[in-house]
Amino acid sequence: MKIAATRTLTHRAVAAVSTVVIAVVLVGCSGDGVSAAERAQAQVTAAQKAVTQAEADLTEASAEFCESSEEYILALDQYGDILNDTAPTVGDVRAAGADLADPSDAALDSAAAAAEAQQALITAQQELVDAQAALARAEAGPSGTPAAPVAEPSSPAPLAPAASVDRVTQAESEFADAQSAITDETPLTDASEQFNSAAVALEAAWLRLFAEAGCLPDDQRQQAQAAVAVYTTALQQDLATAGYYTGAIDGIYGPATVAAVEELQKANGLPVTGTMDNATADALQAELLALGGAAAQESVATTAAVQQTLKLAGLWTGPVDGIWTPELTAAVQTLQLALGVEPTGTVDAATISAVERAIAGLQQPAAPVDPTPTPTATDG
């Protein structure tokens, strides 16, 4: 279906250019009474229609990309955690990867169609500028000067930064390599680590592309950015405590954070992706707990620990997967309100202190129960 969409856009682009050519030919053949300016004006009119059609095609192609990429991201999210929700076999892992083929093809095809539609718009805009320049020259006459220079078209902004597109391409290749490396002889633990890490890295790459391509409304984009910043801040602090991160705690998942995660993965014999997956989060949590003392307290700020704490408190019903979401922020705020601290949505020192006090209160011995029965109205 997406390939057909690509062909449709191609046909529309050709038709738009043909409209300009036909318009010029028809005007040129309409008789000696038609001036050069009139012929040029006809070409401008046709070029304007072509631009309008190209803009509509780009809007349609962008919407198709957002829809198909969202479906692919949801599929990745479903299969990325398959090993945590079931008792699978290596065959299940390989089948899960195969099930992603169709949504992957649809997403990639729609991305190609959107890029083609954008290029068609750039071409149509340039043809309009050329037509407008020709009209200005025709109106000025053979010895005149055009009244005003024709403005160059403003190229539409890229659908997404090139770096994000390159990261998706790389993640797709790494995911394919991870799938092909899993055979019937692959130990289940190795298969789960390979598949899960590659799926999480691929999902993260597509999520970034999805957001940067304008597929999220402004309010949702702001929520997503805030959630990522909260999660990354906690992650950076934990990586610093474990000795892997020396940069600023700024909530930005940049090269320094990626490098720290890679070092953590290397140290624990995990697939090196630079992206936090379940196995990597477990390894970091284990190192922090092994450090004891303050490090163990700070580990509460990791996303997985936050989710587990909220689950024990009955405030979180989602997965313990190390992924910070707006729903998790709301759950933290609910806990903070219950503990009487400022509902910031982040796990700060005040929240940790309140949690410790609450736990200490739960561990106090219960008041003794009076064994003497209470008289009732029927007792004589």
66 or 97, greater pLDDT:
66
Give the separation between CA 22 and CA 74, rounded to whole angstroms.
46
Residue ending a domain, choose from 97, 112, 142:
142
144 DSSP 8-state letter: -
Q: What is the pTM of this model?
A: 0.59
Crossing angle of helices 162-181 and 90-99, in 10° steps, is 140
123, 251: one domain: no
313 Cβ contact partners less than 8 Å away, ≥ 6 residues apart: 335
- pLDDT > 90: percent of the chain: 13
Tokens of 51: 């631009």
Domain membership flag for residue 69: yes
Domain membership flag for residue 373: no
Residue ending a domain, choose from 113, 142, 171:
142
Opening angle at CA 65, ends 62 and 68, nearest 5: 150
Mean pLDDT (whole number) for 243-261: 86
6, 105: one domain: yes
Mean pLDDT (whole number) for 255-278: 88
Q: Which amino acid is at 12?
A: R
Residue 334's domain comprises 218-362
Find, among 159, 142, 197, 190, the residue nearest to 59 by Cα. 159
Domain membership flag for residue 197: no
Find, among 342, 339, 343, 338, the residue nearest to 356 by Cα. 339
Give the separation between CA 221 and CA 214, rounded to whole angstroms.
9
Domain membership flag for residue 105: yes
Give the separation between CA 36 and CA 20, rounded to whole angstroms.
16
The per-residue pLDDT for range 340-361, each reduced to its tens digit, is: 777 777 666 667 667 666 656 5
Tokens of 296: 């163990």
Give the separation between CA 181 and CA 157, rounded to whole angstroms.
39
